[in-house]
Amino acid sequence: MMDLLMIGTLVVSFGLVWLLVTWCQKQIDAQE
């Protein structure tokens, strides 16, 4: 159960980072 919790936390963390990077790229493209 703890393994699933750790994996879930990692997935959520990577997902948030990916969304942040994607959003930043969109903001940069919008400025140009």
Q: Sign of the CA dihedral 16, 19, 21, 27?
A: negative
Determine the residue type at 23.
W
Rounded Cα distance between 30 and 28, Å, is 5
pLDDT digits (tens, 9 = 90+) for 1-32: 789 999 999 999 999 999 999 999 999 998 87
Give me the pLDDT at residue 1, please: 72
Tokens of 5: 């919790």
Q: 3-class DSSP state for residue 1?
A: coil
Give me the pLDDT at residue 31, please: 86
Predicted model pTM = 0.65
